[in-house]
Structure 1
Amino acid sequence: MLKGQFLRIVFIILGVISVGGCTGIPEGVQPVKSFDIQRYQGVWYEIARLDHRFERGMDSVTATYELQNDGTMSVLNRGYVVEERQWKQAEGVAKFVSDPTLGHLKVSFFGPFYGSYVVFKLDKENYEYAYVTSYNKDYLWLLSRTPKVSEAVLKDFEETVKQLGYSVDELIYMKHIMAKNL
């Protein structure tokens, strides 16, 4: 009986650690300081990303963040699945992991399971672009307020993430098509 209780406690602890690990920060990455959630809200266009199953085959991906009265942020991710010729979207919620002036949030699209959302570089003057990662270096996004960024921003993104150990050769660059063209 004691052995069964011990194993159950071990599994509970491992479960808590594994869920908590998903809201961590990759080695060498530092969230931006003086983060302003009011200025961050709104529509962001995905410019580049590393491939992952929940955006595979999508173009015209956007993320819309809206501050809620309870201090959380609603999240609406939307993209056009080229092969299926249709738009898909996912709704979620984001919360600060700790300090609301630190660019480290946790986002959930699936109930109690959260993933880390780390803004590690940001145009702090105008909030025109952001470099975002998750709990490990398998996740990476370049977001912009417009469907295109300057060559200087793109080059800086590639150099910055390469220095941090991301797979620059695996980046996918987004095509933004207008809804009227579909």
Structure 2
Amino acid sequence: MGATLVHEGGAFVNFRHHAFAEPRAHGFRWVDVKRFRLPSPTATDRELLAALVAHEQFRDDYAGGGVDPEGTRHGAYWLRLVTPDAYAPVTRERAAGLLRSWAEQYGPVPCSLAEALRREVLDALAEADAVHHLDGLGEAEHHDWASVHGEFHELVLVDRAAGRLTLVVAADD
């Protein structure tokens, strides 16, 4: 498949914009959401993951610089090492559990943050017919300053009915 994904925008949920009971509980945690239109309803998940990895919007180190068309990093990893094989299918329940445990690791999240996470991530996750978790990479694939991320979680949500692929990155730095 030579088709490419079309970037349709996204959202950024910054934990520090929400009032936590414990001021230090938010740390520097955030969720970045990028939405893409599917190139074809018949594209396989592997083809979609390959199209995502090839997309300019994927060239993001998630360390404040934003998308860099010439970038060599993706989150904590060298971009060249992130392939469709690095993603594993997971259930919606497992993906939601991963996000909730990460978000609540320092205590309950404020209602405003829970609502933002529901609106921007959990609703899309509930509608996805396929979910992939970037978990096939380890420290050997980390780039030279990957330690800027305390945790880095990435999910790809495929919703064929809506014709959308959603890239979700949840991290702290």
TM-score, length basis structure 2: 0.26
Larger Rg: 1
User: Which structure has the highest helix share of the two?
Assistant: 2
User: Which structure has the highest strand share of the two?
Assistant: 1
